[in-house]
Amino acid sequence: MSALSDLGAKLNTDLVTGGFWNGTTGNLGLDFRPPAPDVFYALYSTVSTGPDDVMGGGGMPYMVRTRIQFSARDVPYEYTTPRGKCVAAQASLTSIINTTIGGTAYYRVETDGEPFLIGRDDQERCLFVVNFTVIKQPS
């Protein structure tokens, strides 16, 4: 599976049981965000770096650093809820340390900063994002 699929599954597992998705798993998009419904979350692939090679030869790369972005949108004019969703996603994903998900070894997920507002859409819905670096074995 891809990192997005693996981490999306983890978010669904962690955050449904924590009340994050309000009991549904259907509002998390992987590399897409439709115009409706108002409340929607997405996980995107972003620019990544090349693999880190293992010292001592031409063997397979030891790890890759994949970058992803989580975004949260809520009803018009709501500011604190989508930011809080980013904070919850941050807590879920940064708990991954030396864990295998979907058959892939994930060494660590690091946050690349605090959640931030990237703007409002034409319906006045705030869009918050938080960025991560995922350190994992090559897939």
Domain count along the chain: 1
Q: Which of 16-25, 34-43, 71-80, 84-93 has the lowest mean pLDDT?
A: 16-25
Instruction: Supply the mean pLDDT for the chain.
Output: 85
Q: With 50 as the cut, is the pLDDT of residue 63 above it? A: yes
Instruction: Give the residue among 28, 34, 1, 30 at the shortest CA–CA distance from 12.
Output: 28
pLDDT at 24 over 90: no
Assign 23 a pLDDT band (cuts: 50, 70, 90). Answer: very low
Domain range for residue 50? 3-136
SS (H, E, C) the chain: CCHHHHHHHHHHHHHHHCCCCCCCCCCEEECCCCCCCCCEEEEEECCCEEEECCCCCCCCCCEEEEEEEEEEECCCCCCHHHHHHHHHHHHHHCCCEEEEECCEEEEEEEECCCCEEEEECCCCCEEEEEEEEEEECCC
* CATH number of 81's domain: 3.30.2000.30
d(Cα 90, Cα 70) in Å, to the nearest integer? 9
pLDDT, tens only, 26-35:
578 888 888 8
Q: Is pLDDT larger for residue 52 or for residue 23?
A: 52
Question: Could you report the per-residue pLDDT of 100-135, keeping only the tens digit for each?
Answer: 998 999 999 999 999 999 999 999 999 999 999 999
pLDDT on residue 15: 73
pLDDT-derived band at 70, boundaries 50, 70, 90: very high
